[in-house]
Amino acid sequence: EVQLVESGGGLVQPGRSLKLSCVASGFTFSNYGMNWIRQAPGKGLEWVAYISSGSSYIYYAETVKDRFTISRDNAKNTLYLQMTSLRSEDTALFYCARHLTGSDYWGQGVMVTVSS
């Protein structure tokens, strides 16, 4: 069974940093690209970043480019999102999702709240 479990969220002050993790199981992690997707409270879905299976291709939404860094460790079956210079508008539930035919499997999400 495919499972994706996010962690690392919490309350952080504006301008500070936070690193999210997503541990994958139930499939060969190193064979798949992965996405981070977020959802602000009561709002729609926003794609954040993508990384290919071997980390050769990386793409970001303009809203997070130069502030967020996606990475992965295939030996640990783990996806990361390093977030810096956080803003109040980054407050959201962050999902990791496997990139197959778009995004087929999603984790349950981890909440990030940016507030002073």
Partner 1 sequence: DIQMTQSPSLLSASVGDRVTINCKASQNINKYLNWYQQNLGEAPKLLIYNINNLQTGIPSRFSGSGSGTDYTLTISSLQPEDFGTYFCFQHNSWPLTFGSGTKLEIK
Q: Let me know: does 109 contact 88? Beta carbons within 8 Å.
A: no
Q: Is 22 in the site for partner 1 (CB under 8 A)?
A: no
Q: Is 95 in the site for partner 1 (CB under 8 A)?
A: yes
Among 8, 21, 46, 53, binds partner 1 (CB under 8 A): 46
Q: Is 31 helix (H, G, I), strand (E, B) or coil?
A: helix
Q: Is 47 in the site for partner 1 (CB under 8 A)?
A: yes
To the nearest whole angstrom, how small is the minimum distance from the Cβ of residue 25 to partner 1?
16
Among 1, 13, 41, 44, binds partner 1 (CB under 8 A): 44
Q: Is 108 in the site for partner 1 (CB under 8 A)?
A: yes
From residue 24, give the alpha-carbon distance in Å to each of 12, 17, 48, 85, 86. Answer: 25, 23, 18, 27, 26
Of residues 11 and 45, the one with the C-beta less far from partner 1: 45
Q: How far apart are CA 95 and CA 7, in angstroms?
A: 10
Binding-site ranges for partner 1 (CB under 8 A) = 35, 44-47, 50, 59-62, 95, 101-109
